[in-house]
Amino acid sequence: MADAIRIGVIGTGVFGISHLRVFKQAQNEGRTVLVAACSSGRDPARDQERRDEFGIPIYTDWREMLDKESLDAVTIVTPDHLHQEMTIEAANRGLHVLVEKPLDVTSAGCQAIVDACKANGAFLQVDFHKRYDPYHLALERQCNDGTLGEVLYGYVHMEDKIVVPRDWFPHWAGSTSPAWFLGVHFYDLVRWCIKKEATRVYATGQKNKLAAANIDTYDAIQAKVEFEGGTSVFFDTGWVLPDTFEAIVNQSIRLVGTEGFAEVDSQNRGMEAASYKDGMRTYNEAFMREEEDKHGNVVYRGYGYESILDFVDNLEFLQEGGTIDQLQGRYPGGEDALEVTRIAEAVHQSIDSGSIVTLR
Ligand SMILES: NC(=O)c1ccc[n+]([C@@H]2O[C@H](COP(=O)([O-])OP(=O)(O)OC[C@H]3O[C@@H](n4cnc5c(N)ncnc54)[C@H](O)[C@@H]3O)[C@@H](O)[C@H]2O)c1
């Protein structure tokens, strides 16, 4: 059996807790050791909560954590614009890295990360969890087993409730956008489904409601992306849905080909509920859910956790003598993330210029 993988987590916020849960759960199975985590230190009460819940040191200087702890891998769950420096430093120390999406907010930064990882033999994975959704796996199969034929066009929307930029991370929402925070998920999913890269992008965006709340970012971004062979997909992204909406996010994808179409409502999987306590709700139980195992322990299930656990699977494969080349195409990696960032970058260039941006 492979040695337990020693992991540190940089970023312990809204999504960092998912990483901590996965690695703690894998620790219970002897697969990982959750060694330490690190935050910015701006929320000492939350740091204490994480210490209490996970029983690990919470550093407030990520370099100090890397200096002091003996680690095999780190995961990076910090604001989008901070990933680059942390990932390169980790790779230069020979650590394997899982980075939250987007890998970086510049293609030059993504390229620098990819190069640093290659130079150091570090395994780099990016958490594009949409690829792990069982319904998206079926969509990808239909795109590639001939069921849909040649995909001609498609439509995607991904819209968060306003609570996300307004209340969850108002201090850094102005440094990201609906394209960077939401769009990248589906830019990656579409290119993974159709196995084609983006060629041209035209995008528009609106700044209104969040700007009025002193958060300088787009409320919504609409991007028309053309892929090799002429496939054209429209991506609507936004994060100003009202607080009264029945879930945190509203999302779906529809692809239409020469032989048929497939559509996945990624939010409403069929259960609707209304209660005096919660109001009207829909549930995407495929994403993240807590269950109890037969011993009464809480276990975390769903593709939102499985995509993080896949990093552990891949590191075990490497420990057992497999190579990074053998894993090629079997996980979302740095080259995928670079292509995705090129699309998001082009989206913003197109909004700024009012013109079509050509990528290849
Ligand atoms: N895969 C997904 O579905 C998903 C969902 C939400 C967020 N994300 C991504 O995860 C990342 C984090 O998002 P979040 O919502 O958890 O943000 P957050 O603001 O809730 O948490 C950010 C964390 O980073 C820490 N941090 C900030 N600066 C730091 C520094 N200099 N050194 C060490 N730690 C630092 C903060 O203390 C905090 O713990 C982002 O890249 C975001 O796009 C992914």
Rg, C-alpha atoms of the chain: 20
By the 10 Å C-beta count (0-12 exposed, 13-18 middle, 19+ buried), 225 is classed as buried
> Do 286 and 301 fall within a single domain?
no
Query: Does the pLDDT of residue 131 top 80, yes or no?
Result: yes
Eight-class DSSP state of 131: G
Q: Ligand 1: which atom is nearest the Cα of residue 172?
A: 19
Give the integer Cα–Cα distance in Å for 7 and 9.
7
> Do 244 and 159 fall within a single domain?
yes
| Tally of structural domains, the chain | 2
Q: What is the CATH number of the domain that holds 29?
A: 3.40.50.720
> Do 232 and 345 fall within a single domain?
yes
- Ligand 1, atom 7, residue with closest C-alpha: 15
Token pair for 250: 């509203």
pLDDT digits (tens, 9 = 90+) for 76-121: 999 999 999 999 999 999 999 999 999 999 999 999 999 999 999 9
Token pair for 276: 């005096």
Report the pLDDT value the prediction gives residue 316, as an integer from 0 to 100. Answer: 98
> Do 286 and 296 fall within a single domain?
no
> Do 350 and 210 fall within a single domain?
yes
- SS3 call for 329: coil
Report the pLDDT value the prediction gives residue 270, as an integer from 0 to 100. Answer: 87
Pocket test of ligand 1: the residue of 9, 15, 188 to mutate, having most ligand atoms within 8 Å of its CB, is 15
> Do 285 and 348 fall within a single domain?
yes
> Do 156 and 204 fall within a single domain?
yes
Q: What is the CATH number of the domain that holds 265?
A: 3.30.360.10
> Do 235 and 154 fall within a single domain?
yes
pTM for this model (two decimals): 0.97
Give the integer Cα–Cα distance in Å for 189 and 207.
26
- Ligand 1, atom 29, residue with closest C-alpha: 40
User: Could you tell me if 303 and 132 are in contact, meaning their C-beta atoms sit under 8 angstroms apart?
Assistant: yes
Range of the domain at 303: 5-129+291-332
> Do 276 and 317 fall within a single domain?
no
> Do 137 and 285 fall within a single domain?
yes
Q: How far is the CA of 236 from the centre of ligand 1 (A)?
A: 23
pLDDT digits (tens, 9 = 90+) for 140-169: 999 999 999 999 999 999 999 999 999 999
> Do 17 and 151 fall within a single domain?
no
Q: How far is the CA of 229 from the centre of ligand 1 (A)?
A: 36
